[in-house]
Structure 1
């Protein structure tokens, strides 16, 4: 009887040990691409106010927009009264830029950003415009200097110039870019940037990045570690010492992800990021630090990544 009890105890201990080993070797918590991107997307904040009286909204990151009385007109140019709905998106960090889809470049030239916002307004589901009769007083904006402390100017999202600033054979690119809006007064205060909102579109507190070093073009390709089909690939550069994030569009001519021609200063440091979605819906992710050199090419490893791995990297940028 004692031997049987001892055997049973040994068997029970073995079962517990095997179970513990199985738990230790559990499947990693790989990140589902769609869920991950949705969780990091720039959130749209919603407000309401009386159009005839005017009102002020304040975003969660400190952006303040003050609408004057009668600041809104409808599609026919009629002044709007009653309650209106205003939405706001704030992009006030390099991580925000990464997930906003609105990168800091102007027709192939690097920009340093002090923050981006998107403001829109509707009444009864119809889009509104800023009252042109109020000129520069319809909507006044203050953006906190959380992302940058340097003096900036106002840029607006606009249709990309024909052929881009560098012309010639350019990679596939977004149809939109940033263009300066020097015709709008812009204030560089000690703690915030202030300006009048030109329209309900993306606006950016920006400056052209100036670097005396020679400029070059770089290319990149993913080096897959998993035997899996990957789609929705994006290649981006998050620069180390400037508030600049750009994408490397895919150039079908060279069949590589490629920067705009002669746009990157040699010696500038950045993190190269590649992100995509595999056929099982998981994130494929890779990153490596680089120092821009003449005509460099990067084969960047990319693999199925866990949520913790990607979040740990994002905490460093």
Structure 2
């Protein structure tokens, strides 16, 4: 996570740089180093209670961690419920002092394999420049011996074999971390870039960067057994096996207006706990795009989000899911659309949402149904 400088109109800089940090154990494993717990102490607004309620609910209904214990006196392996086989080699793990970890080792694994899981866990698929990715699985692995956390020895890795149906012989690998940025530039309700002295939240969910280590940069497809085979060269970090989507059509910027039930605290929420969220699933593709950039200074009825500039293909069919949490009530709307071209004289396309009250069970059903869209 990184929080950048806040710039006041007129060019005076107020430094709010708190440094970079890792948040992958957030909430699920109660990571004590999670900096979002210290936002109030650092002078930043505490998480909005409606946002906290929504994200607690989503996590509780999303993909669960699985635990496996193996003996690393020799090479060992385990297979998850999703059918993915993890192989760990003897002496590949080390303790904090650098000594080899042998004997019983406990692995904690979370796997995300479909659109609903990406929404529940807030792990969408898009590059750090907004290019959408088609996912063949997202993976998180941690290891410990007793209460001692372990790491991979330099130049070591965990081998993963995952069942998959792909046409490519190799698929790029991506590492991910959560990123929050504070700044005062943004686009208003008619897609004009403006500068303000207020703060916003840009909660990506996860920021994917392509792996650069040549030995771990690609998953290789084995057609003899229908598996993707790749290496995890780090622990306590999300890894994604994704290929860039082929989207040849001209691109546009999509502005998503909420005519009602948009929680205004979304624009100043930090720590990835926004009370209003918007996701888009391209039809027939295992991908979720999160709209997280908020519209600056909107008039009533034009609150909401916008995509990356010129990032969404004109003619792309897909399904949006808008979710809000306001005063203890959940609101949602699912809408299937075909992205239209900008109107004459504009450089953006609009979609309008009016989320209606829903029960917790209905919200789970709506999210789950995104798998088949």
TM-score when scaled to structure 2?
Answer: 0.66
How many Å apart are 1:222 and its aligned residue? 2.4
Which deviates more from structure 2 when the two are superposed, residues 46-55 or residues 169-178? 169-178
Q: Where does residue 269 of structure 1 map in the other structure?
A: 317
Q: What are the within-5 Å matches in structure 2 for residues 235-274 of structure 1?
A: 235-253=278-296, 255=298, 256-274=304-322
The reply to whether residue 139 of structure 1 matches residue 158 of structure 2 is yes
2:330 corresponds, among 283, 304, 315, to 283
Is the 2:262–2:276 Cα contact (8 Å) retained in structure 1? Answer: no
How many Å apart are 1:150 and its aligned residue? 3.8
TM-score when scaled to structure 1?
Answer: 0.77
1:299 corresponds, among 329, 352, 362, to 352
The reply to whether residue 216 of structure 1 matches residue 233 of structure 2 is no
Q: Where does residue 234 of structure 1 map in the other structure?
A: 277
Q: Where does residue 178 of structure 1 map in the other structure?
A: 208
For 1:302 and 1:116, locate their aligned partners in 2 and report how far apart those are by CA, in whole Å: 29
The reply to whether residue 74 of structure 1 matches residue 127 of structure 2 is no
How many Å apart are 1:196 and its aligned residue? 1.4
Q: CA 1:261–1:239 in structure 2 vs 1: closer, same or farther (change >3 Å)?
A: same
The reply to whether residue 197 of structure 1 matches residue 232 of structure 2 is yes
Is the 2:178–2:204 Cα contact (8 Å) retained in structure 1? Answer: no
For 1:290 and 1:98, locate their aligned partners in 2 and report how far apart those are by CA, in whole Å: 19
Is the 2:332–2:358 Cα contact (8 Å) retained in structure 1? Answer: yes
The reply to whether residue 63 of structure 1 matches residue 84 of structure 2 is yes
How many Å apart are 1:85 and its aligned residue? 1.3
Q: CA 1:206–1:87 in structure 2 vs 1: closer, same or farther (change >3 Å)?
A: same
Structure 2 stretches of 5 or more lacking a match? Answer: 1-52, 188-192, 194-199, 267-273, 299-303, 343-347
How many Å apart are 1:44 and its aligned residue? 0.4
Is the 1:156–1:179 Cα contact (8 Å) retained in structure 2? Answer: yes
RMSD between aligned alpha carbons?
Answer: 3.2
For 2:57 and 2:338, locate their aligned partners in 1 and report how far apart those are by CA, in whole Å: 29
Is the 2:180–2:204 Cα contact (8 Å) retained in structure 1? Answer: no
Secondary structure, aligned partner of 1:140: strand
Q: CA 1:226–1:259 in structure 2 vs 1: closer, same or farther (change >3 Å)?
A: closer
How many Å apart are 1:252 and its aligned residue? 4.7
For 1:234 and 1:250, locate their aligned partners in 2 and report how far apart those are by CA, in whole Å: 10
How many Å apart are 1:94 and its aligned residue? 1.4
Q: Which has the higher helix share?
A: 1
Name which one, 1 or 2, has greater alpha-carbon Rg. 1
Q: Give a deviation string over 1:25-51, Cα, whole Å, max 9, x none.
A: xxxxxxx95775244222000111123
Q: CA 1:234–1:161 in structure 2 vs 1: closer, same or farther (change >3 Å)?
A: closer
Q: Give a deviation string over 1:250-294, Cα, whole Å, max 9, x none.
A: 325354311111111111111111112221x23211111111123
For 2:148 and 2:312, locate their aligned partners in 1 and report how far apart those are by CA, in whole Å: 42
